Every structure is written in structure tokens, then in C-alpha cells.
Amino acid sequence: MSQQYSSIRTVPEHSVSFMAAISGGKSVIFRDYLFLTGEGWLIAVGYPFGSPHDAREFFAALTDMAEKTQAGDYWAIAPEMPQELQPHVDETDVYYVLPVHFPVPAKVRGPVRKAANSLTVDEGKVFTAAHRRLWAEFLRRKDFKPHVHELFARTASMLAAPGTDVRLLNAWDAGGDLAACCVMDYSPQEFSSYIIGAHSRENYTPHATDLLFAMMLENARKSGKRYIHLGLGVNDGIRRFKEKWGAVKTLPYQAASWKKQNLQAQGRKVKDSRADFLNFSLSALGVGRYGARHQEERESLSDQRDFAMLWKLEKNGKTSWIGGTAHIFRYSFAPSFRNLFQQADTVLFEGPLDAASLEAVTRHGSTLGAGPRLADCLAEQEIQRLERVVRGPEGKLARFLNMAWEKPLDVRRVLAEHRPWSVFFTLYYAFLERNGWRHSVDLEAWEIARSMNRHIVAMESIPDQIASLESVPLERILRFLRCPETWGRKMRQSLRAYLAGDLEKMLGTGTEFPTRTERVISMRDHLFLKVMRPYIERGRAVVLVGTAHMLNLEKMLREDGFRVSKVYPSLLHKIRARMQRMG
């Protein structure tokens, strides 16, 4: 460690407001240590704010906080873990900082000047469609861990988090495309932190990232910072890049995770074999790991279930699978998809689910077309009823009881500005999200297939999908919106049926859904079968379509010569199916 910077005792996790915002927990500074706590979990940052690190003092503070919070899941970082926690250490590394008075290294000055001639650099807080495209492209290139995907996915919420100063450092090419981007945290007074970053190969400009590092130094100097925290070494490639810029090592790093046990009873603690449960990491790209997955994180163990809406397809000795998905759901099926895709080379979806395609659908739906505004089709009483159901309890009492939704939807704006089919999706999905439905089955499967480098096939285009949505009769949409008091029952029924893999009960809960029409469902089934046929006949293919399509497709596949058999992921699913057959 450089002696000149050995006195630096800060770490990126000392950005209290940022840590609280990104973890979703409450920050507590206790005995000079930062703790973050939420429902059932506790994060301990074992780097004191002022005094030198003392493992015994940290352990004493941690023990007292554990007693106060009665948390069940723990995660800690420290320069050195107390002896009692050494069996639970998951990772060791070292932090790097880049002092702001360091010049641009001589060997990159020429490339940086050249990049500056072809790129425009700015700094802001607006996360645009260009950023989403860059994030999607970057994440496709490597098999990142799930918590890294989640950190990229939460960029927009980072930027909007109250009490923080998170900004985007952008490098735009002459065509208006994003060549590279870094996310920076300026919240701490003494330093800024590099959180995550990405560069494009599709819109490639040599040394775009080096240019951003040069601007990073300049901006930190202008903001009165002493240095930039670059986080951990992570791997040889990232270490080399940081050291090329003159970054110096400061504090050692250890991370540990464990389940609730008596911290004083050494040797009685049971190591949590699911370390990723609290592994929402800032260090994956070199800033320091932290965080607990709360309700909306994809990989939270409590949010995972077995994927039961699945059938095996067999023909001429070849095996494939077909499953019914949902655009939004309460639980994650990530482990099931990973296991399933291990047996597949190709994964087929209804349409493309990349960021640019999703943005195109959203943009089209939120732009009012030539048709009627639903705000003009509903009575004031009906709109007020929609607001009550979608937004939930409001007012001082609701806030006091923690019942108020933190991000209530502007129902009237949606009714006034969105196309009818977009109104249906936006309002109903907002209602589901308020009730804890924060996963997307098809999008989760798409991301996992991408991360596993599977061949992905979209069976129809975005314009085809939009045309189907535009065909939904206005009367069906209005009928659905006029009875929001039934949405809770529909939600509970579909939840039970989907988890059980019960196709008939699942469709029985949603036949009145606006999109369950001949044009949206039945007519597209013939197209899907035509596109999927060569892949499933070759075998090792997985087809994922909306669950409503399975009723027709199951019969059509049998008629096409496939042996179609239900897949039961657990003994409980098998027992339930057998009891159902017995009446």
C-alpha cells in the first residue's frame, strides 16, 4: 500500500445516503460504524468513520446491533473480520483510489485527445433510451452474476434517490449514440465514487472509457473532492486498468455472510449456503460489495418458486419443452430457468424483449393515437374508483401506518394520454406491483438465456405485437376497468393456479381479460407453431409463450405428432396433480 495514502480510511460504503437508498434499508451510525437494517436483515460496514479499525470493537458493535434488530440474515464488510466471523468470509480484496491531483498518464494522453475529438462528454441525471440500449448490449456480452444485472437495472432509481448526488458521465459520438457511460456518486464530501460503467462495441470509439476517466478526474477536482474511489480490484483486467491510471491500493477488504445465530457462541453459527441472498453488490465492477435484496430483487430466496407451467415435447427421439409465462408475477423462477436452459441450445419467445424493443412498445402505448381517450369514456365515479384500487390507501393515516404506496400512479394522466390497451396494462400492472408483483417471468427468462449465451429466437416482431394489441376491442377494456373491485380476487386466483401449474384454472381466472381475444391469442398460435416447429423437432429447444396460448398450442402440438407431457417440478406438484385426476 502506498504510504502516502495509507491514512485513507474511507470506503465507498461510507456514502450513507446512497447506501440507504440503494439497499432500501434504514441507516444507523452506531459506535462510529454504519449499519443498514431492514425487515429481517442487517448490513454492517466495518470501516469506522474516524478511528482506526479494531476487530473487537467492530464485533462488539455488531453483536449489540444484532440484539437490537433481531435480524435473521447478516452481511458484513471490514478490513479484517473478527475471529468469530472468519469461517463466514466469502471474499477478500483491496480498495483502490485515484487522487484527483494525479495527471492523465502519459501513455493514454494521446488516445484521450483523439477520443475527445470524436466524442462529446456531458454529465447529467437523465437515464434515456440510449442508456438502456447500452446497458442491454453490455450485459449481453458477459455472464454477469444476477446481483450485477440488478445493479444496472436499478440505475434509474439510483439517480432519483432522495438525499443522493448520483450522476451519469456520458460520452456521445457524432451520430448521437452513447459510446460509453459511467455512473458516479458525488454524495460524500471528501470523495466521489465510480459505481458502474459500460462501453459499446456496436457504437465503438477507441479509448472512450479513458476519456471518461480523464473527465472523472476533472469533475472531481471541480467538485472539491480529494480523490475518486474506484472500489475493489475484482479481477486482473480491472486491476490493470485502474493501475494504468495510477490508482493506488488503500484498505484491505473482507466480506462475510451468515444466518441468525448467537454471535458470541463461536463455532455454533451455520454458514449460509445461499450467500447471494444478501449479495446486492456494488463491487462487481469495482466499487465495494454491499446490500440486501429486499422485496423487489429478482434473486431473493424468499421470492423464488419452482416453475410448474411447463410441458415436455417429444418426437422422433428428440426432446424440447414449452412453457407458459406471465409479463408480471409475484415470484421469481430463476433457478428453474437456469436448470432448464442447461438442457437447451435455443430459447424461443413471443417477441424481442431487449431494452430497445420494450422501450418502443412503451413509447407507442404512451402516445395517444387516433382513437378515443379513455378519460372521456369513463364517468368521474368510475375514475375515482380506479384511483382508489390502483393507488391504494392514501393520506396522513396511511403514511403513519406505512400503508401508503411510495410511488402512486397518476391514473388520470394515464387515462388521458395512453392508448386504450396501454391503459389496461399500466393500471392493472401498477395495482399488481403495489401488491408485491415485481417480477416478469418472460423478461427474467430472456435475461437468463442471454447470460447463458443461448440462441434466442423472437417468433414475431414488435410491429406485429403492437398490431395485435391495437386490435383489442375498446368495449372489453372498458368492461375490465369498470370493475376494479374484482382485481384482487383475480390476482389471488391466478397466483395459486400459476404456481400449481394448473392451466385450466389459470385461464379460468382471466377469460375476461381484455387481451384474451381471437386475434391476440388464437390467430397468433398458428404463427408460433410454424416458427417453433423446426426448432422443437431438432430438440434441445425451449419455447416460452404467454400462458393463454398454451390451451390451443398443447392440442395443436399433439396433432402435429408431438408427445406432450406435463412437467412436475416437485413431489408436491405431482401429488396435487394425482389428487386432481382422482377427483
Summarize pLDDT for 301-352 with one digit per residue, the tens: 457 899 999 999 999 999 999 999 999 999 999 999 999 999 999 999 999 9
Question: Within a domain: residue 389?
Answer: no
> Which residue do the cell numbers 375498446 mark?
474
- Whether residue 432 is contained in a domain is answered as no
Q: Are residues 188 and 271 in the same domain?
A: no
| Residue 273 sits in the same domain as residue 319 | no
Could you give the 3-state DSSP secondary structure of residue 570? coil
Do 129 and 65 share a structural domain?
Answer: no
C-alpha cell at 179: 459510446
Does residue 66 belong to any structural domain of this protein?
Answer: yes
Low-confidence ranges of the chain (pLDDT < 70): 1-9, 143-150, 261-302, 396-404, 508-511, 579-583
What confidence score (pLDDT) does residue 277 get? 27
Contact assessment for residue 199 and residue 149, using Cβ atoms and an 8 Å cutoff:
no
CB-CB contact of 17 with 188 (8 Å): no
As a whole number, the mean pLDDT across the chain is 85
- Sign, Cα dihedral of 199, 205, 210, 214: negative
Bridge partners (DSSP) of residue 563 are 314
Closest CA to 99 of 225, 257, 183: 225
User: Which pLDDT score, from 0 to 100, does residue 153 have?
Assistant: 77
pLDDT of residue 508: 64
- Continuous segment of H or E residues that includes residue 513: none
Domain, as residue range, for 160:
99-228
Give yes or no: residues 319 and 285 share one domain. Answer: no
Domain total in the chain: 3
Q: 446 and 347, same structural domain?
A: yes
Q: Which residues pair with 321 in a beta bridge?
A: 312, 542
Give the CATH number, domain containing residue 149: 3.40.630.30
Q: Answer whether 0.85 is exceeded by the pTM.
A: no
d(CA 461, CA 210): 37
Q: Which residues contact 267 (CB under 8 A, 6 or more apart)?
A: none
Rounded CA-CA distance 184/192 in Å is: 7
SS3 364: helix
Does 393 fall in a domain? no
